[in-house]
């Protein structure tokens, strides 16, 4: 990666006019950090393993010295990287207990604010953890490093979209737009680049989003798959093309090969990152082998816990455990992130580093078949809209053989409508499930804040 700018151009004023200086301090620091990240993630594996082991030992020493909670979990008196595999996985409830009982284990410097981070709790209770200002800086730089590693075209505009649910408001407005001249942060003075837009809109106003997207060529669109599906059901892939989308960068939810194919068919490239609110980046999708995520070695260690493996298709998936090497305020060590996957020692593309694949999101997004298998809930809301009218729809697995379907609408269903809904579901899922249909005035989204179409309440 080093010094390969691809098609990108340095600004005429990029270099410093001061004596004995080439780059101003901030840009120079950012480029140095990006080079460091590249050395760890794409460089010599032995050097990487040494660095990671030392970082892990530093974190374990810190946690043991500052926390009774962690002292109890780190059983060994001699702390080395090798003790990790003997430690019990950390559940979400464990993490919340440590945070509540002990607070932050490291304070931010007096010049900076101590930060707390609240995960969205999209599929359960929100988690509060403490983070250091360095964590936010790392996350920004890691994201920038990916643009170099992927040889992105910096001249494209970058647009990130976020959907707000009914409880979040925009002072009565449907949409808010934050705009900056560049998305390169500390490297903005160095490289020519497109603008950056962060758009938030309330979930039932995709039309407001569409109007905003048509104002400038979108370039890079950054959002979860669910958000993109909303846009696709509003205007189809033609709308994305018309609004100038050239690349879609997916985060936060699972890959869908059909959706990617649809985008590729109109010349839109796709890539994905795998991350979590608690630890930041975990992996970035390989540019050559779709669905394989090069682990973000400069941030995390990843393991797979096979003690509770489940069959999905032809694979046995284990729980993904993540250790965040820079989690000094609220240590995150062997954290069960709630997702499942496979870990390979290297990527089929030749990359010499661990790779996650078959990452299938949280178990809450799968149906549990009574025979122990997991089934993916493949539907999108449009399939049901073709049969009945409703303003909102929700599916929940409420016990091993029962699925509750709720529709927000004013009138009862006709017998024929209800029969067709049941037939559609039974045919595509499995007749073993009993399907209960309820018509409601309001759907209770408190345990499903991202309004996912399906949630499993059994796991
Ligand atoms: Zn690869």
CB 194 within 8 A of CB 160: no
* 444 compared with 49, residue with greater pLDDT: 49
pLDDT mean over 190-218: 93
Residue appearing with tokens 């975990």: 282
Q: Distance, CA 45 to ligand 1 centroid (Å)?
A: 15
Distance, CA 446 to ligand 1 centroid (Å)? 38
Q: What is the pLDDT of residue 260?
A: 94
Most confident of 99-113, 333-347, 415-429: 333-347
**Rounded to the nearest whole angstrom, what is the distance from the C-alpha of residue 289 to the centroid of ligand 1?**
6
Q: Give residue 294's pLDDT band: very low, low, confident or very high (50, 70, 90).
A: very high
Measure 313 CA to ligand 1 centroid, in angstroms.
Answer: 22
**Distance between CA 431 and CA 388 in Å, rounded?**
21
Q: Average model confidence (pLDDT) for the chain?
A: 89
pLDDT digits (tens, 9 = 90+) for 50-78: 999 999 999 999 999 999 999 999 988 89
pLDDT for position 120: 56
> What tokens were used for 104?
């932050």
pLDDT score at 210: 94
Using an 8 Å Cβ cutoff, are 301 and 323 in contact? yes
pLDDT > 60? residue 237: yes
Q: Who surrounds ion ligand 1 at CB < 5 A?
A: 286, 289, 347, 349, 351
Share above pLDDT 70 across residues of the chain, in percent, rounded to a whole number: 94
| Cα 371 to ligand 1 centroid, rounded to whole Å | 35
Q: State the pTM of this model.
A: 0.84
Q: Is the pLDDT of residue 173 over 90?
A: no
Helix (H, G, I), strand (E, B) or coil at 29: helix
pLDDT, residue 168, reads 59
The rounded Å distance from CA 39 to ligand 1 centre is: 16
Please report the pLDDT score of residue 125 as a whole number: 61
Answer yes or no: are the C-beta atoms of 129 and 183 closer than 8 Å: no
CA 91–ligand 1 middle distance (angstroms): 30
Domains belonging to the chain, first-starting first, are: 368-456 (3.30.300)
Least confident of 133-147, 345-359, 419-433: 419-433
pLDDT score of 361 more than 80: no
Q: How far is the CA of 79 from the centre of ligand 1 (A)?
A: 33
Q: How far is the CA of 377 from the centre of ligand 1 (A)?
A: 28
pLDDT at residue 60, as a whole number: 97
Q: Please state, in angstroms and rounded to a whole number, the distance separating the CA atoms of residues 436 and 402.
A: 7
Q: Distance from the CA of 229 to the center of ligand 1, in angstroms? A: 27
Residue 88 has pLDDT above 90, yes or no: yes
* Confidence category of residue 222, pLDDT binned at 50, 70, 90: very high
Ligand 1 midpoint to CA 214 (Å) = 34
**How would residue 119 be classed by pLDDT, with cut points 50, 70 and 90?**
low
Q: How far is the CA of 458 from the centre of ligand 1 (A)?
A: 35
Classify residue 334 as left (phi > 0), alpha (psi -120 to 50) or beta.
left
Residue 25 has pLDDT above 80, yes or no: yes
């Amino acid at each position: 990666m080093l010094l390969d700018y691809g098609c990108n151009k340095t600004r005429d004023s990029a270099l410093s006019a001061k004596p004995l200086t080439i780059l101003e301090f901030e840009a120079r620091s950012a480029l140095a950090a990006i080079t460091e990240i590249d050395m760890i993630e794409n460089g010599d594996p032995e050097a990487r393993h040494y660095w990671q082991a030392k970082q892990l030992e530093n974190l374990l020493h810190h946690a043991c010295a500052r926390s009774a909670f962690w002292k109890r979990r780190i059983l060994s008196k001699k702390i080395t990287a090798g003790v990790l595999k003997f430690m019990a996985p950390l559940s979400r409830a464990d993490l919340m207990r440590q945070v509540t009982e002990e607070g932050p284990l490291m304070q931010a410097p007096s010049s900076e604010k101590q930060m707390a981070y609240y995960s969205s709790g999209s599929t359960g209770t929100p988690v509060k953890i403490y983070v250091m200002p360095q964590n936010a800086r790392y996350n920004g730089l890691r994201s920038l490093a990916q643009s170099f590693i992927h040889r992105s075209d910096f001249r494209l505009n970058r647009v990130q979209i976020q959907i707000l649910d009914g409880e979040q408001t925009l002072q009565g407005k449907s949409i808010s737009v934050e705009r900056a001249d560049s998305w390169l942060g500390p490297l903005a003075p160095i490289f020519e680049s497109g603008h950056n837009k962060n758009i938030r809109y309330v979930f039932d106003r995709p039309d407001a989003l569409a109007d905003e997207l048509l104002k400038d060529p979108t370039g890079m669109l950054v959002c979860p798959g669910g958000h993109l599906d909303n846009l696709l059901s509003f205007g189809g892939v033609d709308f994305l093309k018309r609004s100038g989308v050239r690349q879609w960068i997916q985060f936060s939810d699972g890959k869908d090969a059909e959706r990617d194919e649809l985008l590729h068919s109109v010349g839109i490239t796709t890539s994905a990152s795998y991350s979590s609110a608690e630890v930041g980046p975990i992996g970035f999708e390989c540019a050559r082998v779709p669905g394989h995520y090069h682990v973000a070695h400069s941030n995390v260690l990843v393991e797979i816990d096979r003690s509770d493996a489940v069959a999905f298709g032809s694979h046995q998936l284990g729980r993904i455990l993540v250790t965040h090497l820079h989690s000094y305020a609220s240590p995150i060590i062997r954290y069960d992130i709630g997702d499942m996957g496979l870990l390979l020692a290297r990527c089929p593309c030749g990359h010499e580093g661990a790779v996650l694949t078959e990452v299938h999101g949280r178990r809450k997004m799968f149906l549990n078949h009574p025979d122990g298998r997991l089934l993916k809930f493949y539907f999108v809301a449009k399939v049901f809209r073709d049969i009945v009218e409703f303003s909102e729809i929700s599916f929940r697995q409420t016990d091993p053989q029962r699925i509750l379907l709720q529709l927000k609408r004013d009138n009862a269903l006709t017998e024929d409508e209800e029969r067709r809904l049941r037939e559609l579901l039974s045919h595509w899922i499995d007749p073993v499930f009993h399907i209960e249909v309820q018509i409601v005035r309001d759907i209770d989204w408190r345990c499903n804040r991202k309004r996912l179409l399906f949630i499993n309440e059994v796991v």
